[in-house]
Amino acid sequence: MIRGVAGAAIYFRTMAVFAAVWWLIAAWTGNAALLPSPLLVAKAIGELALDLELFKHAGISLARMLASLALAILLAVPLGILMGRVRIADDLLDPVVEILRPISGIAWIPLALFMFGIGNALPVFIMTYAAFFPIVLGTISGVRGVDRRLVNAARTMGVSHRAIVTTVVMPAAAPALLVAIRLGAASAWTAVVAAELIGAPSGLGYAIEWYRELLMTPQVMAFIAMVGVLGFLFDAALRSLSRRFTPWAPATA
């Protein structure tokens, strides 16, 4: 990761070398539709940002991302706590999770196109599905990783089952839970482009495909860069949230 001024200097040096090599290959290719120069891409980013098109599609994708992540958390966290705490719930539900998990969210796209048609529901469904499994599995292992002595101590002191979950299990499992949410978010963000590329009339994936068909490669690259920047910022935001809400968590990951 980048740390301090020296880190930033190295970062920019590396990216400058990358841009220079790219520029040379672009000059050698001499075909802006095939490989535009970094300058052309920067210009495209500027233009798309100025007429707000870049932010419009980014905002739509981001809104879908937030909705999906919220939905996945609402479904997966309670389920994960239940499966992590209650043996019979785990015995019953784990097979279903393990049967569905290998079927990637993207493989649901054709069937989901029938179920939801083209629009907001399709990408939100696909992204929720993609985020669900990392969150549910992370919650289960987080809940199971809670020190048994803490739970037993609370039980000995006559704390109710519900209070044990809210005051002992949840705080202890929170760091693992936030890591799981980050993994879920990364998984959902991977699916967003595929879902929008095929099944949405808006968003970053749609924009990438739109400009590809027009052979406007600088614009295609501008939107691809936006996918990367937003993915990075979203993860950075979740990481700083983790640090703020679970300062007791180990500083790894």
User: Which positions lie near another protein, rule CB under 8 A?
Assistant: 1-2, 7, 10-11, 13-15, 18, 33-35, 88, 91-96, 99-100, 102-104, 106-111, 113-114, 189-194, 197-198, 204-205, 208-209, 212-213, 217, 220-221, 224-225, 227-232, 235
Whole-number minimum distance, CB 191 to another protein, in Å? 8
DSSP-H helix ranges across 30-86: 38-50, 53-85
Q: How far is the CB of 116 from another protein (least distance, A)?
A: 13
Comparing CB distances to another protein, the nearer of 18 and 245 is 18
Contact 60, 202 (CB under 8 A): yes
**Which is nearest to 179 in space by CA: 147, 150, 137?**
137
- Is the four-CA dihedral 235, 104, 211, 67 of positive or negative sign? negative
Give least dist CB 113 to another protein, A: 6
Tokens for 236, please give them.
């950075």
For residues 46 and 218, give the distance between their C-alpha atoms in angstroms, rounded to a whole number. Answer: 11
User: Which residue bears the tokens 């015995």?
Assistant: 91
Q: Which is nearer to another protein, 62 or 193 (CB)?
A: 193
Nearer of residues 29 and 152 to another protein, judged by Cβ? 29
Secondary structure (3-state) at 145: coil
Between 178 and 193, whose beta carbon lies closer to another protein?
Answer: 193
Q: How far is the CB of 125 from another protein (least distance, A)?
A: 14
CB of 96 to another protein, least distance (A): 5
Provide the token pair at 237: 């935001």
Measure Cα distances from 146 to 27, 77, 81, 160 in Å. Answer: 58, 15, 11, 17
From residue 73, alpha-carbon distances to 2, 13, 70, 178 in Å are 30, 39, 5, 10
Cα dihedral across residues 35, 37, 39, 40: positive or negative:
negative
Rounded Cα–Cα distance for residues 6 and 16 (Å): 15
Q: Which is nearer to another protein, 118 or 163 (CB)?
A: 118
CB of 3 to another protein, least distance (A): 10
Minimum CB distance to another protein, residue 225 (Å): 8
Closest to another protein by CB, 153 or 236: 236
User: Which residue's CB is nearer to another protein, number 3 or number 244?
Assistant: 3
